[in-house]
Amino acid sequence: MNLRIATGAAAIALFAVSGCATKNWVNTQTAPVVDKTNNLEDRTAENNRNIHDVDARATAGIQQAQNSANSATQNAQNAQQAAGQADTAANDAVHRADSLDSVVKGLDNYKSLADVSVNFGFDKSMLTKDDKDQLDGFAAQLGSSKSYILEVTGGTDSTGSTEYNYDLSNRRADAVVQYLAAKYNVPAHKFYLIGIGKDQEVAPNTTAEGRHKNRRVEIRLLSNMSGDNMQQPTAPNPGGSR
């Protein structure tokens, strides 16, 4: 009887020892797998977060770029519209014509009442104080004149290309027109602007004094002795005389 009990106890003890060993072996084998699985899940979650973050930043960047593009397009449209308005205003401000005969009806009825000439430095188109003083004295006669027009002719010396001097002569004439229009409220339709570049000299270009005289703007006050008989130009030449 005691032998049986002892044998049974030994068997139970052996099973218990064998069971613990098996459990420890299983734990030893599965622990790395569990760790790898946990690490893989952590990295997968981190990758998903990174992907979402990149996607969010990309979406924001695309939206910002689209907004910038829309803003640039709007600015370009505004600039183009402003340029068109400025060009229209410039054409409306003065008549640029090859000759007054082409835009004024009955020019023979106009009589020259006064004239003045202002001179410019080399390659300059800004009015000096002396120029403005001369224009002020000339403009004093405008208040008592009726049915008048102002012929404004810009010129240059012979230095430089023909095209550049046409542009320079127009800029000089523009300076005179802007001064008279702004300070004395001369109506826009009163101006007839001509840029002749170096085409017509008033003095020889072979001397410094002669070149200085050619760098000028001549302004003539013409009055219609038979009344207001002006005819507006149908298609003024915006580039001036060439």
Number of domains observed in the structure of the chain: 2
HSE-up (13 A, CA, CB side) for residue 98: 4
**Does residue 237 lie in a domain region?**
no
Q: Which two tokens stand for residue 34?
A: 């569990």
pLDDT higher than threshold 70 for residue 22: no
Co-location of 60 and 107 in the same domain: no
CATH number, residue 175: 3.30.1330.60
Q: How confident is the model at residue 175 (pLDDT cuts 50, 70, 90)?
A: very high
Co-location of 99 and 73 in the same domain: no
Q: What is the pTM of this model?
A: 0.55
**Does residue 240 lie in a domain region?**
no
Co-location of 143 and 213 in the same domain: yes
Q: How confident is the model at residue 239 (pLDDT cuts 50, 70, 90)?
A: very low
In sequence order, which residues have a C-beta less than 8 Å from that of residue 131 and are 6 or more positions away? 118, 119, 120
**Does residue 128 lie in a domain region?**
yes
Q: ∠ CA(105), CA(202), CA(130), 5° rounding?
A: 90
106 or 122, which is more confident = 122
Domain stop point among 55, 90, 125: 90
pLDDT at 207: 96
176 or 4, which is more confident = 176
Tell me the Ramachandran region of residue 123: left when phi exceeds 0, alpha when psi lies from -120 to 50, beta otherwise.
Answer: left
Q: How confident is the model at residue 121 (pLDDT cuts 50, 70, 90)?
A: very high
pLDDT at 75: 72
150, burial (CB in 10 Å: exposed 0-12, middle 13-18, buried 19+): buried
Co-location of 43 and 108 in the same domain: no
Classify residue 114 by its DSSP letter. E
Asked which of 97-101, 167-171, 177-181, 231-235 is least confident by mean pLDDT, the reply is 231-235
How far is 218 from 68, CA to CA, in rounded Å? 49
Co-location of 86 and 100 in the same domain: no
Domain region containing 31: 1-90
Of all residues in the chain, what percent carry a pLDDT higher than 90?
A: 38
In sequence order, which residues have a C-beta less than 8 Å from that of residue 110 and are 6 or more positions away? 104, 149, 222, 223, 224, 225
**Does residue 238 lie in a domain region?**
no
Distances in Å between the Cα of 202 and the Cα atoms of 121, 193, 209, 212 are: 16, 18, 11, 10
pLDDT higher than threshold 80 for residue 18: no
68 or 150, which is more confident = 150
